[in-house]
Structure 1
Amino acid sequence: MKILQRYFAVSIAQAVAFVLVAFLALNAFFDLTGQLPVIGNNGYRLQHALLFVLLRLPYHVYVVMPIAALLGTIYTMAQFAASSEFTIMRASGMSTRQAAWMLFKIGIVLVLITFIFGELIAPRTAPVAERMRLSARGATVTQGFVSGMWTKDVVRSEGITGAVTGSRFFNVRQFRNDGQLIDVRLYEFDTNFRMRSLITAARGSYKGNNTWRLEEVTQTVFSNTAPDAAPATAAGQQGLSNYGQDSSRVVTRKLPGMDLVSEVTPKIISVSASDPDRMSANELAVYARHLSENKQESERFQIAFWKKLFDPLAIFVLMALALPFAYLQTRSGGISIKIFAGIMLGVGYMLVNSLSASLGVLSSMPAPLTAIAPSLVFLALALVALWRVERH
């Protein structure tokens, strides 16, 4: 069995590598054609576009690896069937369970490679590619809103460890590649959702330890003597208390700078402007927890987190789905027909996977079930197919 295991591994690895390179070349071509219209604008040159395409390849490896594993395994199994090698293996005593076990051990390596690209390489190269592209074009990181990027924060009595005394909404018009904030607006509310202060700043830079340094600050404080109004907690507001929206007076002052303690970090701001599919599971977990703590919708990021965990494991399912092709003799169709069937299965898996994620956001289905549902559907198909070929 060791010889068969080695033969299976080498044959499938060669086929998967060939399919993977073909898919990567196709994705690189599409990425490059997408960059061609902006080449020559504001210093963006062909070398920048080529580097951008190269840095995006690890993400494409993560995305297409399950389909490459499916097609590569189908091609190998179809070749075994066409040359009667699989029939000889079966006649020599190899059972379906042993063949599935050999595929499973090969799948472990492919799953590990996928996890490495999805969790360690792609989350680092994708932001670098985006920053490089924006820097070459003289642009900044932005989100799809005219008013800039928005995120929510809680205000605590003692930095980030005390009791919650209110909430704060961050609005950043521009988030530069070096982490600097441009045109910052902070809307602070007490626990009764009455506005107690409005802070605007021309710039903001992160000092570490959850502290931002704001420059050219204008602070407007709404104050009254209502007993249930919460005290201010932002730096620079000492001596002012009992703020509320039904205020009896408004105090406005200009400051050259002020420190602001916040749970919002540059990582959270950059993540809020990122595509969840290009984030690592750790980044998704941190941002989903931040959204949940601030009573914001986090289903999309929770689903993306569980998909990051389950999607690479779909390689096992898709390779099991390819095993029945070894039982189909040449009279059941040539290798090209089987490859076409594999492509259709891969396209079907991608469609079901995308549809499941979209339905999970719209429905109340638990995020783990939403992420694993496509794999369960195709696992059932694989088991039915294996049962039918074994029966016949």
Structure 2
Amino acid sequence: MRLLNRYVISQLSICTIYALLALISLYSFFDIMGEISHVGDGRYTADKMLFYVLLLIPTHAYELMPLAVLVGALVCLNQMASHSEFTVIRTSGISLASIIGMMLQFGLMFAIIAALLGEYVVPKTGPYAEQYQLHARQNTISAGDSGIWLKQGQDIVNVAEMLPDGSLKDISIYRHDDQFHLSETLHAASANVDVHTQAGKQTKWHLHQVDQSILQAHQIVVNHLENVDWHMSINHQLLNILLVAPEQMSIIALSTYIKHLKNNHQQIIRYELAWWRKIAYPLACIVMALVALAFTPQQNRRGNMGLKLFYGICLGLFFHFSGRLFGFTSQLYGVPTPVAAFLPTLLFLGLAVYLIRRQEKR
């Protein structure tokens, strides 16, 4: 029994890895097609574009893991059925409960891999990939742990944080003279970017609670200003690099950021939904393993086999995109975030249990 268990799980794992590699290759091809038109912007060369695409692979692996588990398991189990291995397993006295146990172990293994990717790898590679691309394409912009740094003429600007509503926090502006000697500093507690008021390519920033320091020959003049309007020739969309996608944050980081947003009276639904999805998403690998078992034909009929394989893959694609659909319903219609996060997985679990029981009765 232990030898059979190892054999089945190893075959399932090999097929799943192949499926994951195929899906990642497909997504990477689409990434290259989307980025190739930007090659030549600033210092964005073909080598840097390929490195950026490589940095996106962990994110794709995490997002595609349940789909890869389903496709890999479907292919493996259908191959076993076509070679009569599945029939031999059943007729040799192996119960359905034992087979389900094998599928649960297989799904749990990839669920752990998905959880580790989502908690430790994607939160590092995802934001770094976006920062790397931005820095390569925009010579006057760089991003790091201290926020985003911008250069406009003789001014150097640092923005520490961007909140979900588009407002900025902790803005520091360093102005220099023609000899590039520091002449003035401004520090604003917050700012709002007026995206509708533009002069050419310039966007107006409304700075609030500003501390101004003017460096003169023998003294420093310090002023406190309630509001200052300041023009910046940086497109507002470029500042979105500061707003890390909640899907690229770890559970611990999401918990901290949700608390931070509550203190700033910001909307937290999107981040709460991402927190619950981080919990529910690895479980989808286990459910997809059961769905694959439900779509495995019990008899060696190739027409039936190919049809079930097709239906199973279509179902996996539907699950892959249904998570976003339920996320939108949570934000639009006020569906509780735990329900929106777990409902797709629970629905597919119920479908898998129903189909397995129906198939067993036949």
TM-score range relative to shorter protein = 0.7 to 0.9
Kindly tell me the number of residue pairs found equivalent between the two proteins. Answer: 301
Which position in structure 2 is the counterpart of 1:273? Answer: 243
Select 1:359's aligned residue among 307, 329, 332: 329
Structure 2 CA distance for aligned equivalents of residues 348 and 87 of structure 1: 30
Tell me how far 1:132 sits from its aligned partner: 1.5
Which position in structure 2 is the counterpart of 1:324? Answer: 294
Match of 1:94, as an amino acid?
Answer: I
SS in 2 for 1:383: helix
Structure 2 CA distance for aligned equivalents of residues 325 and 150 of structure 1: 47
Q: Work out whether residues 199 and 217 of structure 1, in 8 Å CA contact, stay in contact via their aligned partners in 2.
A: no
Match of 2:210, as an amino acid?
Answer: T
Tell me how far 1:338 sits from its aligned partner: 3.3
Q: Please list every run of 5 or more consecutive structure 1 residues that lacks an aligned counterpart in the other structure.
A: 143-147, 153-168, 176-181, 189-196, 204-214, 223-251, 253-268
Q: Work out whether residues 212 and 225 of structure 2, in 8 Å CA contact, stay in contact via their aligned partners in 1.
A: no
Select 1:308's aligned residue among 278, 292, 302: 278
Match of 1:288, as an amino acid?
Answer: I
Select 2:209's aligned residue among 185, 199, 205: 199
C-alpha distance after superposition, 1:347-374 (max 9, x if no partner):
1112321111111112332211210000
Structure 2 CA distance for aligned equivalents of residues 30 and 202 of structure 1: 48
Structure 2 CA distance for aligned equivalents of residues 216 and 357 of structure 1: 52
Structure 2 CA distance for aligned equivalents of residues 139 and 87 of structure 1: 65
Which position in structure 1 is the counterpart of 2:30? Answer: 30
Tell me how far 1:312 sits from its aligned partner: 1.2
Alignment of 1:149-160 (within 5 A): 150-151=162-163
Q: Work out whether residues 326 and 341 of structure 2, in 8 Å CA contact, stay in contact via their aligned partners in 1.
A: yes
Which position in structure 2 is the counterpart of 1:186? Answer: 189
Tell me how far 1:150 sits from its aligned partner: 4.5
Which position in structure 1 is the counterpart of 2:254? Answer: 284
Structure 2 CA distance for aligned equivalents of residues 323 and 131 of structure 1: 42
1:344 aligns with 2:349: no
- With over 3 angstroms needed to count, the CA separation of the structure-2 counterparts of 1:172 and 1:343, relative to structure 1, is farther
SS in 2 for 1:40: coil
Q: Work out whether residues 39 and 46 of structure 1, in 8 Å CA contact, stay in contact via their aligned partners in 2.
A: yes
Select 1:298's aligned residue among 257, 265, 268: 268
Match of 1:300, as an amino acid?
Answer: R
Structure 2 CA distance for aligned equivalents of residues 273 and 291 of structure 1: 12
Alignment of 1:1-392 (within 5 A): 1-137=1-137, 138=139, 140=141, 150-151=162-163, 170-171=168-169, 185-186=188-189, 198-200=208-210, 219-220=224-225, 273-331=243-301, 333=303, 335-392=305-362
Structure 2 CA distance for aligned equivalents of residues 279 and 315 of structure 1: 20
Tell me how far 1:327 sits from its aligned partner: 3.5
Tell me how far 1:332 sits from its aligned partner: 6.3
Tell me how far 1:375 sits from its aligned partner: 0.4
Structure 1 CA distance for aligned equivalents of residues 21 and 242 of structure 2: 32
- With over 3 angstroms needed to count, the CA separation of the structure-2 counterparts of 1:325 and 1:151, relative to structure 1, is closer
Give the share of equivalent positions with the same residue, in percent: 30
Structure with bigger helix share is 2
Q: Work out whether residues 24 and 60 of structure 1, in 8 Å CA contact, stay in contact via their aligned partners in 2.
A: yes
TM-score, normalised relative to structure 2: 0.75
Structure 2 CA distance for aligned equivalents of residues 122 and 367 of structure 1: 22
Q: Which runs of 4+ in 1 moved over 4 A?
A: 169-175, 215-218, 269-272
Structure 2 CA distance for aligned equivalents of residues 362 and 303 of structure 1: 13
- With over 3 angstroms needed to count, the CA separation of the structure-2 counterparts of 1:274 and 1:217, relative to structure 1, is farther
Structure 1 CA distance for aligned equivalents of residues 72 and 294 of structure 2: 14
C-alpha distance after superposition, 1:256-310 (max 9, x if no partner):
xxxxxxxxxxxxx998611112222222211111112333210110001110111
Q: Work out whether residues 55 and 125 of structure 2, in 8 Å CA contact, stay in contact via their aligned partners in 1.
A: yes
CA RMSD of aligned residues (A): 3.1
Q: Please list every run of 5 or more consecutive structure 2 residues that lacks an aligned counterpart in the other structure.
A: 149-158, 174-184, 192-206, 214-219, 229-238
Q: Work out whether residues 107 and 287 of structure 2, in 8 Å CA contact, stay in contact via their aligned partners in 1.
A: no
Structure 2 CA distance for aligned equivalents of residues 285 and 386 of structure 1: 38
Q: Work out whether residues 16 and 72 of structure 2, in 8 Å CA contact, stay in contact via their aligned partners in 1.
A: yes
Match of 1:199, as an amino acid?
Answer: Q
Q: Work out whether residues 199 and 218 of structure 1, in 8 Å CA contact, stay in contact via their aligned partners in 2.
A: no
Structure 1 CA distance for aligned equivalents of residues 190 and 88 of structure 2: 73
Q: Work out whether residues 212 and 224 of structure 2, in 8 Å CA contact, stay in contact via their aligned partners in 1.
A: no
- With over 3 angstroms needed to count, the CA separation of the structure-2 counterparts of 1:323 and 1:221, relative to structure 1, is closer
